[in-house]
């Protein structure tokens, strides 16, 4: 049985997503935007966020994996589902559920730069800055959270618990 402690409420998430949507609308005013959700974790956040943005938006998805032994990342990021839109010359906003080491986002920014996009910015629901291994600029942050294994609102543990409407720290179990 999982024992969890709520750290970000459903109401706080809704309020912050609205604020992020307003900031993105302001920052991209008059410019079309492509939002790329990083699967699987960001799909709920992205769905709520796009409804708070008052701009023409194209939406796409990408899935990446870091393969290694056990629970350790090899540091090699592989794309397992690529975008489908032509991104050349477009402003891109990567939407992530959680920024941890930063390695995935650095690799994705490199991949998108090679596709000759106009710009790449990052929006994340959760930023765990103390876990950063590489420098990555996060332009829009929902919440800064200290250590803990988080689930809910798209965040999972072994593909479970994404459906929780708030964000929880797993205290024990899993």
Catalytic residue list: 100
Give the span between the Cα atoms of 112 and 89, in whole angstroms: 11
Q: Rounded to whole angstroms, how far apart are CA atoms 54 and 57?
A: 9
Q: Is the Cβ–Cβ distance between 64 and 108 less than 8 Å?
A: yes
How far separated are the first and last CA of the chain, in Å rounded? 7
Q: Could you give the CA distance from residue 106 to residue 37 in angstroms, rounded to a whole number?
A: 15
Residue 93 CA to residue 151 CA, distance in Å, equals: 23
DSSP 3-state assignment of 139? coil
Partners of 122 in beta bridges = 94
């Amino acid at each position: 049985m999982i024992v969890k402690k709520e750290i970000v409420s459903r109401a706080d998430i809704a309020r912050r997503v609205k604020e992020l949507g307003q900031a993105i609308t302001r920052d991209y005013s008059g410019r079309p935007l492509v939002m790329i959700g990083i699967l699987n974790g960001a799909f709920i956040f992205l769905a709520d966020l796009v409804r708070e943005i008052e701009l023409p938006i194209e939406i796409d998805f990408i899935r990446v994996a870091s393969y290694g032994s056990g629970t350790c990342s090899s540091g090699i990021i592989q794309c397992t589902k690529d975008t489908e839109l032509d991104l050349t010359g477009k402003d891109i906003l990567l939407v992530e559920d959680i920024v941890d080491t930063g390695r995935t986002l650095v690799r994705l920014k490199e991949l998108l730069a090679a596709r000759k996009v106009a710009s790449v910015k990052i929006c994340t629901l959760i930023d765990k800055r103390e876990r950063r291994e590489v420098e990555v600029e996060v332009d829009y942050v929902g919440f800064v959270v200290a250590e803990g294994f988080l689930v809910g609102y798209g965040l999972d543990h072994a593909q479970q618990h994404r459906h929780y409407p708030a964000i929880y720290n797993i205290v024990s179990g899993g």
